[in-house]
């Protein structure tokens, strides 16, 4: 596979001789949506932070579009579980700040038109001049998503962006995310704990195991399996469970999380 993103033998250690994960290798094609799933402590967020250039691996390399990732870049948009908005700025100005960073030569009119387009995409036009304190949790996450898309990154990195939201809000933002990704052809790497969210959104799902001490010695975590999502690409959240193959896919991932994600004596 001629990968747009190449991750080669990534390793991260905090304690010498006991890497959290080791030998993590995978790729993403341009326009692909990949989710990574695993238990807390397996290193999912560390992998994402290395892809974002916010953390350094102990060993291994990450290449995006033919260049090694050495630090943060506006070529990669990041959305965390906490929305990370500037509380003193309105929605419009929070997003404009990012847009101006990407295109410093743009006029105020160009920036504002661009901001309005992406605010409309996430359904927040009515709240564009409100500050974060005046918004619900779901609305704040929408602003974070709009800001990430507005800089038109080559790749979007999402760290459980809907983890703190109620089920109804989560569902509606998932639908919006699918819609925007389809419209923009965005390449996405996302961490989730939610099996159904992964099945709904992802083209492929990386199953990550935890590192643990076993009777035969320490075993580092890593990518245990890559699951290809064979469900139709136009799947919908409300009707997904009726699709042929849905339960087999779901049961396979749940079985991994319950029985295989951690070495036997580490449950």
Tokens for 18, please give them: 């006991």
Say what angle helices 108-121 and 91-102 make with each other, to 10 degrees. Answer: 120
DSSP helix/strand/coil, 143: helix
Read off the pLDDT of residues 80-117 as tens digits, 9 standing for 90 and up: 877 689 999 999 999 999 999 999 999 999 999 999 99
Mind giving me the DSSP string for 193-211?
Answer: S-HHHHHHH-SEEEEEEPP
Task: Please report the pLDDT score of residue 263 as a whole number.
Answer: 58
Q: What is the DSSP string of 7-55?
A: EEEEEE-SBTTB-SEEEEEEEE-TT-EEEEE--TTSSHHHHHHHHHTSS
Start-to-end CA span in the chain (Å): 35
Compute the distance between CA of residue 163 and CA of residue 82 in angstroms, rounded to an integer: 9
State the CATH architecture for 5-75+156-266.
3-Layer(aba) Sandwich (3.40)
pLDDT of 102: 93
Pull the structure tokens for residue 153: 């990154």
Q: Above 70 in pLDDT, residue 266?
A: no
pLDDT at 2: 61
264 pLDDT above the threshold of 80: no
Q: What is the pLDDT of residues 158-199, one digit of tens each?
A: 999 888 788 888 888 888 888 888 888 899 999 998 999 999
Q: 66: how many CB neighbours lie within 10 A of its CB?
A: 7
Q: Where do the domains of the chain lie?
A: 5-75+156-266, 84-152
Q: What's the rounded mean pLDDT across residues 226-231?
A: 96
Q: Does 229 have pLDDT greater than 80?
A: yes
pLDDT of 265 strictly over 50: no
Q: How far is CA 62 from CA 22, 35, 80, in A?
A: 14, 17, 20
Task: Round to whole Å and give the CA distance between 50 and 56.
Answer: 5
Looking at residues 234-255, what average pLDDT do you find? 93
How do residues 31-59 score in pLDDT, each as one tens digit?
Answer: 999 999 999 889 999 999 999 999 999 99
pLDDT of residue 16: 85
């Amino acid at each position: 596979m001629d990968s747009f993103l190449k991750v080669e033998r990534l390793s991260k250690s905090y304690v010498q001789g006991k890497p959290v994960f080791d030998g993590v290798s995978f790729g993403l094609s341009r326009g692909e949506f990949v989710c990574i799933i695993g238990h807390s402590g397996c290193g999912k967020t560390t992998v994402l932070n290395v892809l974002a250039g916010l953390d350094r691996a102990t060993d291994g390399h990450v290449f995006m579009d033919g260049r090694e990732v050495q630090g943060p870049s506006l070529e990669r948009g990041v959305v965390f579980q906490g929305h990370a908005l500037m509380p003193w700025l309105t929605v419009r100005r929070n997003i404009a700040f990012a847009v101006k960073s990407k295109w410093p030569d743009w006029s105020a009119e160009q920036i504002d038109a661009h901001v309005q387009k992406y605010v409309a995409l996430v359904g927040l036009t009515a709240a564009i001049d409100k500050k974060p304190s005046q918004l619900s949790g779901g609305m704040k996450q929408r602003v974070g998503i709009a800001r990430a898309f507005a800089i038109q990154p080559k790749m979007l990195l999402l760290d459980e962006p809907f983890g703190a939201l109620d089920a109804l809000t989560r569902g509606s933002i998932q639908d919006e995310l699918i819609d925007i990704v389809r419209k923009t052809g965005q390449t996405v790497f996302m961490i989730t704990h939610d099996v159904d969210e992964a099945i709904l959104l992802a083209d492929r799902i990386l199953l990550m195991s935890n590192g643990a001490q076993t009777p035969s010695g320490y075993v580092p975590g890593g990518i245990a399996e890559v699951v290809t999502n064979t469900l139709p690409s136009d799947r919908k959240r409300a009707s997904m469970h009726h699709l042929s193959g849905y339960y087999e896919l779901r049961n396979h991932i749940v079985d991994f999380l319950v029985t295989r994600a951690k070495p036997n004596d580490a449950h």
